[in-house]
Amino acid sequence: MVGREKELRIRFVPGRCELVEEDVDIPSRRVLITGATGLLGRAVFKEFNENNWNTVGCGYRRAQPRFEHVNLLDCIAVHDIIHDFQPHVIVHCAAERRPDVVEGQPDAASQLNVAASANLAKEAAGVGAFLIYISTDYVFDGTSPPYKETDVPNPLNLYGKTKLEGEKAVLENNEETAVLRIPVLYGEVERLEESAVTVMFDKVQFSNKSANMDHWQQRFPTNVKDVAAVCRQLAEKRMLDPSIKGTFHWSGNEQMTKYEMACAIADAFNLPSSHLRPITDSPVVGALRPKNAQLDCSKLEMLGIGQRTPFRAGIRESLWPFLVDKRWRQTVFH
């Protein structure tokens, strides 16, 4: 379904350019993406935008000119954009997701992860919008995987606690909400530090220096494109079936430690990995991490929702722009 609107476009003709009014097709399904400037938010925005949704993204520091500048802690600004746009769906990607940062800035993290999420849920309910709240596998303690949606959470660190509190807050303020728990993410980063997976690439590439890599925590690296597809499929199924709500899990299915991811990255680019050293002790610095918080995704799979990109293919696509050895890039991609 699409509507038609008039839009001013610049048309170039020999010797000059002129402003003309043209009919443009506007999709009738409307979606608002918070955190649209972030790694996941960009992928979610792109997925909806390329699949016949009228898509508006909002961000904060990096928002303009592509996205709407909205401070999610400003209740009036949040109210205004939701009531002006009247979205059918809101995907709430914005969060403080770095566990060590949350430990150091607990109040600010709680404001964004809990208070802003509660307010967003309230405003979504006010316009009848379906809210998808992005949560984390860190709500679990990692002692008895795999975890179903019905398993009792027990977060080990403050990040997991704030996200669990956020889950409760959105469900209390808006029963028509889906909570989507996901694990560690990677994808087409703007800088390597955007993902706990891609940040390892420099240690992999600079093989003249040995690098210690965690070989204790079991992770399930998940491509943001796959999570974005799950969000869109969930939204589209919800448009047809109002019973689609509650808690869901999605995850990649390749189990790897950071050491194993680093070796897979090296393998994907035909780089040496002998300088990478596995550390099998549990980490002693930073926020506590669950040893294995594997998510059981069968609930979404039974709904026919989901896709998975093989890690080596996904990581090659994500990291090749950051490859230092340009000769390899030319032989493989040209």
pLDDT, tens digit (0-9, with 9 covering 90-100), for 199-232: 999 999 998 889 999 999 999 999 999 999 999 9
> What is the tally of structural domains in the chain?
1
- Residue in the structure block whose two tokens are 């709430």: 92
H runs (alpha helix) in 86-223? 99-104, 106-110, 116-127, 158-173, 201-205
Q: What is the CATH number of the domain that holds 50?
A: 3.40.50.720
Is the residue at 200 inside a domain?
yes
Residue 2's pLDDT band, with cuts at 50, 70 and 90, is very low
Is the residue at 144 inside a domain?
yes
Up-side HSE of residue 326: CA atoms within 13 Å toward CB?
Answer: 0
Torsions phi, psi of 263, nearest 5? Answer: -65, -40
pLDDT at 5: 53
Identify whether the C-beta of residue 231 lies closer than 8 Å to the C-beta of residue 47. Answer: yes
Q: Report the C-alpha dihedral over residues 77, 83, 89, 91, rounded to 10 degrees.
A: 0
- Residue in the structure block whose two tokens are 């390892």: 200
Is the residue at 143 inside a domain?
yes
pLDDT at 334: 45
Is the residue at 39 inside a domain?
yes
Is the residue at 59 inside a domain?
yes
**Percent share of the chain, pLDDT over 90:** 75
**pTM, rounded to two decimals:** 0.89
Is the residue at 173 inside a domain?
yes
Is the residue at 16 inside a domain?
no
Is the residue at 331 inside a domain?
no
∠ at Cα 307 (254, 149), nearest 5°?
Answer: 75
How far is 248 from 245, CA to CA, in rounded Å?
8
pLDDT at 55: 96
pLDDT, tens digit (0-9, with 9 covering 90-100), for 237-260: 999 999 999 999 999 999 999 999
pLDDT, tens digit (0-9, with 9 covering 90-100), for 36-46: 999 999 999 99
Cα-trace Rg, the chain:
21
How far is 129 from 175, CA to CA, in rounded Å?
11
For residue 38, what are the domain limits? 31-257+278-322
